Amino acid sequence: MTPTEYIATFELEHPGYSSYPTNYQQYIPLNKSRFLRCVKQGVITHELTEVIRAINEKQDWVIITEPWCGDAAQIVPYLFKIAALNPLINVLVQLRDSHSEIESYLSNGKMSIPKLIVRNKQGNDLFTWGPQPKALESLMIKLVNYNLSNEALKVSEQKWYNDDKGRGLQDEILELIKDR
């Protein structure tokens, strides 16, 4: 699906909305709000903008996600904004639980999302990224070891995203592209 089609999955009247487990549906309105905030306020760094604009061959960016995923609400808008900087980048969105390629791109044996797969024009993977910026992942591992409640973990994660403003993701994508 296209980015526009993915954004439509946040809507209550979307045909797929009712197929989500009830306990996941409750997150979609909040994630929609976070997603739209990142779309509106997110800024792509100058350095990453230059590197993305310099890509001179077609790429497919496959993003595996779901509208109920809290991390995706904070990351996917930035991926859309980054990809939009170069018309040679084609974004394809796959819903994790609907015939996606996630089984081939597990994170520590789990179907964690969002997941970005960047492919060249021949369809070969150039790199993958996801599901979280490394700094957040490290923080969450530390916090889990402190036996914090799930609610405290969620608050800490959201605070990290609010403070980071997409910078961790952008820095990691920049390094992955430079390494190619």
Would you list the domain boundaries of the chain? 3-178
Average pLDDT over residues 119-142: 96
The pTM of this model reads 0.94
3-state helix vs strand vs coil in the chain, percent to 5: 50, 15, 35
pLDDT value at 180 more than 80: no
Q: Label residue 108 by pLDDT band (50, 70, 90).
A: very high
The CATH homologous superfamily for domain 3-178 is Glutaredoxin (3.40.30.10)
CB proximity list for 128: less than 8 A, separation 6 or greater: 105, 115, 116, 117, 118
Q: What is the pLDDT of residues 22-66, one digit of tens each?
A: 888 889 999 999 999 999 999 999 999 999 999 999 999 999 999
Q: In what helix (H) or strand (E) does residue 31 lie, and over which residues does it extend?
A: helix 28-41
Closest-CA residue to 115 (of 132, 137, 139, 98):
132
Q: In what helix (H) or strand (E) does residue 154 lie, and over which residues does it extend?
A: helix 150-164
pLDDT value at 17 more than 90: no
| Residue 20: per-residue pLDDT | 81
| Residue 19: per-residue pLDDT | 80
Average pLDDT over residues 121-126: 97
